[in-house]
Amino acid sequence: MRLAGYLVALGLLAAPAPAQELKWNYDKLAAKASDTVDVSLSGSLLRLATKFLSDDDKDEAKVKKLVGGLKGIYVKNFEFKKAGDYTPADLESFRAPLRGGGWERIVGVHSTEEGETVEVYINNAAKGIGGLAIIATEPKEVTLVNIVGPIDLDSLSELGGHFGIPEVEVEKKK
Amino acid sequence: MPERPVSTPAGMDFTGLVRQHQAMVFSIAWHVLRDRAVAEELAQDVFLSLHQHLATLESPGHALFWLRRVTSNRALDVLRRRQRHPMVSLENAPEPVALSPAGDPLLGTALRRLVGALPEKARAIVVLRYQEDLDPAEIAKILDIPVGTVKSQLQRALALLREKMSRTLGEIGL
Amino acid sequence: MNLDDELKSALRRHEPPPDFTARVLARVSAGPARTAPLAGLSSTLTRKSTRWVAAIAATLLLAAGALEYRQYEGERAKSQVLLAMRITASKLNKAQKKVQMLSHRSIS
């Protein structure tokens, strides 16, 4: 064990990915999508991005604080030409790893009228949340989010009203 | 200080506009300029200008008109400034070679080349007519020229294109 | 051959490279265009410059280029973080909104 730790520290042995980092395979959805937005940031690139977030800009400073301790941010948004281009079966491989491994679904909402679903999962670590996963679907859109590391959901929802995100009209419980 | 992403009063968000219209802007630039790298550069510049003017746009339709207008006019500016490669008038343009009557890709390439040899304004008119499916009145507004000019230039350009193509392919039905 | 149809096909829209949006957002974040800080240096060197002076100039230009690229990479990564947070927050807010709607309905 000690030798493994030594080798990891030397960079000679890759540290295993934390359980909060989901090994999702996007190929099937990507093949069917007409448009894709892909954000994958981890390690040095994520640290570099954090350095470029301004402390002087109020909103960027909030994001800087939010992402400061994160190990990875993976966001994929797929758009489809028409409803039915992706099937519920296509999403099963994304839900399967969230049924264990410390993951817990905290929100699952479905709107029959709009055909929209949002599922929010957290991975509990020793001190608070260690990871976040979101699966959000609309008839012609699928969004998959995996954030690795401690994330403050309250601070994240406080971004509402900034960067063009609609603000949720709610009284926050203190 | 870095600029914050901007939303217009009409609820448009800049990133959404880029994603929605990037193919249109890039393609107008490419079909007019016939240079992919320059077209990409121009397309980026157009979106940077869009970002600066976002607050002045009243609706998604207004944004679309604005993008078509700015892209077309900037592409024409580039053409006019271009000194290194003198334009060949369509009358003097070489016949497309190695055409296969059944080979659509080659036919498409040949047509694009011939369109690229049209005089600047005629070229922009043909691109807006056939890429964007606009009528002469809409084209006239975008290029800020009389409708009559659009119609006559379009007619002449099509006649020239037909003549050039027919020499190689035989009779063309229209 | 129908010329109208052929023109529509030949002049159909094409997507720019996949990272086009990210590059636009990076340039928006970066602000007005900047020129390379040491771009003028090489033009002042004459043919009589010794080899090692030219080598130092080349190294400095490379370093400046690397700095420029790091700046570009950093701004690009920053835009991606902001984009990711925007998307994540909007989905969270959607879920939150629906939960509130449902709890208001069950109360009333």
d(CA B90, CA B96): 12
Report the neighbours of C using a cutoff of 3 or more CB pairs below 8 angstroms. A, B
Cα Rg, chain A, nearest whole Å: 18
**Cβ contact (<8 Å) for B104 and C4?**
no
Under DSSP, the state recorded for A102 is T
Residue B27 has pLDDT above 90, yes or no: yes
What is the chain B residue with the closest CA to A52?
A: B2
**Would you state the CATH architecture of domain B1-86?**
Orthogonal Bundle (1.10)
Instruction: With both helix axes pointing from N to C terminus, report the angle between B120-130 and B14-33 in degrees, rounded to the nearest 10.
Output: 130
Residue A6 has pLDDT above 90, yes or no: no
Q: Which of C85, C97, C99 to mutate to test the interface with A (most CBs of A within 10 A)?
A: C85
Helix (H) or strand (E) holding A105: strand A103-111
**Cβ contact (<8 Å) for B2 and A60?**
yes
Q: Residue B172 has what pLDDT?
A: 37
Q: Go through chain B and tell me how many residues it has.
A: 174
Total beta-carbon pairs less than 8 A apart between chain A and chain B: 19
Q: Which of B44, B46, B128, B171 to mutate to test the interface with C (most CBs of C within 10 A)?
A: B44
Put simply, whether B65 touches C (Cβ < 8 Å) is no
Q: Residue C45 has what pLDDT?
A: 42
**Can B1-86 and B89-174 be said to share one CATH topology?**
no
According to CATH, what is the number of the domain B89-174? 1.10.10.10
d(CA B47, CA C21): 10
Q: Residue A173 has what pLDDT?
A: 40
Domain boundaries, given as residue ranges, for chain B: 1-86, 89-174
Residue B53 has pLDDT above 90, yes or no: no
ipTM: 0.80
Any domain includes C42:
no
Collect all residues of chain C within an 8 Å Cβ-Cβ radius of residue B116.
none
- Mean of per-residue pLDDT scores for chain B: 80
Q: How many domains does chain C have?
A: 1
Question: Of residues B13 and B17, which shows the higher confidence score?
Answer: B17
Tell me the pLDDT of chain C (108 aa) as tens digits: 688 988 999 999 999 988 899 999 988 887 655 433 343 344 444 444 456 665 666 566 555 555 656 666 777 788 888 888 888 888 888 888 888 777 776 655
**Cβ contact (<8 Å) for B19 and A37?**
yes
Contact A151, A121 (CB under 8 A): no
**Cβ contact (<8 Å) for A39 and C77?**
no
Cα C68 versus chain centre, distance: 13
pLDDT digits (tens, 9 = 90+) for A70-88: 999 999 999 898 999 999 9
d(CA C41, CA C56): 11
Put simply, whether B20 touches C (Cβ < 8 Å) is no
Report the neighbours of B using a cutoff of 3 or more CB pairs below 8 angstroms. A, C
Q: Residue B56 has what pLDDT?
A: 84
Residue B106: Cβ-neighbour burial (10 angstroms; 0-12, 13-18, 19+): middle
| Cβ count within 10 A of residue C90 | 18
Any domain includes C90:
yes
Contact B82, B65 (CB under 8 A): no
Contact C101, A153 (CB under 8 A): no
Cα C88 versus chain centre, distance: 20
Residue A135: Cβ-neighbour burial (10 angstroms; 0-12, 13-18, 19+): buried
What is the chain A residue with the closest CA to C99?
A: A109
Put simply, whether B155 touches A (Cβ < 8 Å) is no
Any domain includes C99:
yes
Collect all residues of chain C within an 8 Å Cβ-Cβ radius of residue A132.
88
Min Cα–Cα distance to chain A from B6, Å: 7
d(CA A87, CA A29): 9
Q: Residue B97 has what pLDDT?
A: 40
Any domain includes C25:
no
**Cβ contact (<8 Å) for B1 and A163?**
no
SS3 state of residue A115: coil
Q: Which domain holds residue C69?
A: 54-108
Put simply, whether A117 touches C (Cβ < 8 Å) is no
Put simply, whether A10 touches C (Cβ < 8 Å) is no
Q: Which of B15, B112, B135, B139 to mutate to test the interface with C (most CBs of C within 10 A)?
A: B15
d(CA A151, CA A76): 18
Cα Rg, chain B, nearest whole Å: 18
What is the mean pLDDT of the segment spanning A132-156? 91
Contact A134, A143 (CB under 8 A): yes
Collect all residues of chain B within an 8 Å Cβ-Cβ radius of residue A164.
5-7, 13-15
Q: What band does A115 get if pLDDT is binned at 50, 70 and 90?
A: confident
The pTM (predicted TM-score) of the whole model is: 0.48
**Cβ contact (<8 Å) for A59 and B7?**
no
Q: Residue B78 has what pLDDT?
A: 87
Question: Of residues A101 and B17, which shows the higher confidence score?
Answer: B17
Beta-bridge partners for A41: A73
The long-range contacts involving A97-103, CB below 8 angstroms and separated by at least 24 positions, are A97/A22, A97/A23, A97/A24, A98/A22, A98/A133, A101/A19, A102/A19, A102/A20, A102/A130, A103/A131, A103/A133
What phi, psi does A48 have (nearest 5°)?
A: -60, -45
Residue A69 has pLDDT above 90, yes or no: no
**Minimal CA–CA distance to B40: which of B25, B53, B21?**
B25
Put simply, whether B97 touches A (Cβ < 8 Å) is no
Residue A66 has pLDDT above 80, yes or no: yes
What is the chain A residue with the closest CA to B20?
A: A35
Q: Residue A43 has what pLDDT?
A: 83
Torsion angle, CA of A16/A19/A21/A27, rounded to 10 degrees? Answer: 90
Any domain includes C19:
no
